[in-house]
Amino acid sequence: MSQYDFDLFVIGAGSGGVRAACIAASHGASVGICEYSRVGGTCVIRGCVPKKLLSYAAHFAEEFEDAAGYGWTVTDAKFDWPSLIKAKDREIDRLNRVYLDLLEDSGVELFEARGRFLDPHHIQLGDRTVSAERILVAAGGRPWKPDIPGADLAITSDQAFQLEALPERIVMVGGGYIACEFAGIFNGLGSEVTQVYRGPAVLRGFDEDVRTALGREMAVKGIEFRFNTQITAITPVAGAYEVGLDNGEVREADQIMFATGRVPNTAGMCLPDAGVELRADGSIPVDDYSQTNQAHIFAVGDITNRLNLTPVAIHEGQAFADTQFGARPREVDHQFVPSAVFTQPQVGTVGYSEAAARLHYGKLDVYRSEFRPMKHTLGGRPEKTMMKLVVERAGQRVVGLHVVGLDAPEIVQGFAVAVKSGLTKQQFDATIGIHPTAAEELVTMRSPVPG
Q: Is residue 25 part of a domain?
A: yes
Classify residue 122 as left (phi > 0), alpha (psi -120 to 50) or beta.
beta
What is the chain's mean pLDDT, rounded?
A: 96
The enclosing domain of 248 has a CATH number of 3.50.50.60
- State mean pLDDT over 123-142: 97
Q: What is the DSSP track for 385-420?
A: EEEEEEEETTT-BEEEEEEESTTHHHHHHHHHHHHH
pLDDT, tens digit, for every residue of 330-340?
A: 999 999 999 99
Residues 130 and 183 in one domain: no
Residues 282 and 135 in one domain: yes
| pLDDT higher than threshold 70 for residue 341 | yes
Quick one: which of 138, 141, 139 has its CA closest to 176?
141
Residues 251 and 280 in one domain: no
Contact of 347 with 214, CB cutoff 8 Å: yes
Q: Which of 300, 325, 350 is the last residue of a domain?
A: 325
Quick one: which of 310, 424, 324, 411 has its CA closest to 367?
424
Residue 363: other Cβ atoms inside 10 A: 10
Residues 304 and 390 in one domain: no
Residues 252 and 365 in one domain: no
Residues 26 and 69 in one domain: yes
d(CA 335, CA 307): 10
Cis-peptide, bond into residue 50, ω within 30° of zero: no
| pLDDT higher than threshold 70 for residue 157 | yes
For 345, the domain range is: 339-443
Cis-peptide, bond into residue 436, ω within 30° of zero: yes
Contact of 107 with 33, CB cutoff 8 Å: no
Give the model's pLDDT for residue 424.
98
Q: Is residue 332 part of a domain?
A: no
d(CA 158, CA 151): 15
> What is the Cβ-side half-sphere exposure of residue 111, based on CA atoms within 13 angstroms?
21
Q: Is residue 1 part of a domain?
A: no
Residues 132 and 165 in one domain: no
| pLDDT higher than threshold 60 for residue 252 | yes
Q: Is residue 449 part of a domain?
A: no
Residues 135 and 253 in one domain: no
Bridge partners, 124 (sequence order): 116, 129
- State mean pLDDT over 259-270: 96
Give the model's pLDDT for residue 403.
98
Q: Is residue 209 part of a domain?
A: yes
Residues 24 and 135 in one domain: yes
Contact of 14 with 42, CB cutoff 8 Å: yes
Q: Which of 234, 259, 284 is the last residue of a domain?
A: 259
Residues 70 and 200 in one domain: no
Residues 60 and 203 in one domain: no
Q: How confident is the model at residue 408 (pLDDT cuts 50, 70, 90)?
A: very high
- For 397-421, letters b (16+ CB in 10 Å) and e give bbbbbbbbbbbbbebbeebbebbee
Give the three-state DSSP class for 291.
strand
Q: Is residue 418 part of a domain?
A: yes
| pLDDT higher than threshold 80 for residue 2 | no
Which of 59, 296, 402, 435 is an active site residue? 435
Give the model's pLDDT for residue 142.
95
Q: Which of 231, 259, 287 is the last residue of a domain?
A: 259
Q: Is residue 108 part of a domain?
A: yes
pLDDT, tens digit, for every residue of 212-225?
A: 999 999 999 999 99
The enclosing domain of 419 has a CATH number of 3.30.390.30
- Please tell me the total count of domains within the chain: 3
Model confidence, pTM: 0.96
Contact of 151 with 34, CB cutoff 8 Å: no
Q: Is residue 450 part of a domain?
A: no
Residues 12 and 137 in one domain: yes
d(CA 317, CA 97): 20
435 is catalytic: yes
pLDDT, tens digit, for every residue of 6-40?
A: 999 999 999 999 999 999 999 999 999 999 989 99
Give the model's pLDDT for residue 1.
55
